[in-house]
Amino acid sequence: MRILLQFPEGLKQKALEHAKKLEKDGNEVFISASPTFGACDLALDEARDLKAEKLVHFGHAEFHHVDFNVEYVNYEIDAPLNLLPESLDRLREYVRIGIITTIQHIHQLEAVKKFYEDNGKKVIVGKPYGFAKMQGQILGCDIGSAATIDSKVDAFVYFGGGIFHPLGAVLATTKPFFVIEPFQGVIERFDSYRELYGKKRRAKILGSVDAKRIGILLTTKNGQHNMALATILKKRIEKAGMSAGILVANTFDFDSLNNMMEFDAFVNTACPRISIDDIDRTRKPLLSANELMEVIKIKEELGRIKA
């Protein structure tokens, strides 16, 4: 069988090892060298160009159904639990704790839950919105396991590596938020990011009030492509008396976007995290669809465009 393997950045060092195992079974194996941002970003074009019979995607659970033979390998990682006792001091004033993690550590969530319950905490595990598959699991674009229990908890604990996933969750919640990073040996209070990103959000909205030409980002990635939204936004922008162009790419190169100097602002229809994580990478404001609507509303209130 001809197989294409795809790994996220954190697992690429395992690529050759897995390829050789499959080759020993008589398969013809290729390795995708492209970046991937999740199961919303499958290497389908590469697989089809190679005439591969299967794409094996490591590190993520299924995001949505695609018309191709895709095998998902979740890749469980056992993280050390030694920071849990230390976290009790940070959590001493909170009784109801919401716990969340990523798919790599979801198998450890029950152990985390039991630890806190054994130490007098009431632990609540939420359900995702739809893209994530497991209770307590969050994705960059699905923080439902946190947001759905925000009113029921006194504080949140994210257990896992990195800050990409908890950043999305902290911006969608209102309670004290703690990150236990077991690989770095760090326990961090994360609430300050709400104020920081709130200021950045207000700045890019106000910085777009005088915009006359808007570039709409449309990706071709399988789980992020949203032609319907891009078309709706273009019509709404033009109705408001501005000009709009739809900019198409698979992965957006921000240096290239910065060369499109005729645009006064950009609006994102791809991964929603682009409007959060990459706002400092463009010279012009990079808005979400909702932020664009706020800009248009402000323009209308100021009388700069017709309602």
In this structure, are 97 and 170 located in the same domain?
yes
- Report the pLDDT value the prediction gives residue 53, as an integer from 0 to 100: 97
Taking only the tens of pLDDT, the chain with its 307 residues reads: 999 999 998 899 999 999 999 999 999 999 999 999 889 999 999 999 999 999 999 998 888 889 999 999 988 889 999 999 999 999 999 999 999 999 999 999 999 999 999 999 999 999 988 788 899 999 988 999 999 999 999 999 999 988 889 999 999 999 999 999 999 999 999 999 999 999 999 999 999 999 999 999 999 999 999 999 999 999 999 999 999 999 999 999 999 999 999 999 999 999 999 999 999 999 999 999 999 999 999 998 887 665 5
Single out the residue in 190, 216, 237 at which a domain terminates: 190
Q: Which residue has the tokens 């709400």?
A: 194
pLDDT for res 48: 97
Domain total for the chain? 3
| Whole-number pLDDT of residue 307 | 54
Residue 185 covered by a domain: yes
Q: Is residue 79 part of a domain?
A: no
pLDDT for residue 304? 64
Contact 18, 42 (CB under 8 A): no
Nearest residue to 140 (alpha-carbon basis) of 162, 120, 108: 162
In angstroms, the Cα distances linking 244 to 68, 69, 121, 252, 305 are 34, 38, 52, 18, 15
How far apart are alpha carbons 279 and 196 in whole angstroms? 13
pLDDT of residue 45: 95
| Domain stops at, among 132, 159, 190 | 190
Query: 137: which DSSP letter?
Result: B
The answer to whether position 186 is within a domain reads yes
What number of other Cβ atoms are within 10 A of residue 212's Cβ? 14
pLDDT for the residue 216: 98
Containing structural domain, residue 122: 84-190
Tokens of 206: 């106000």
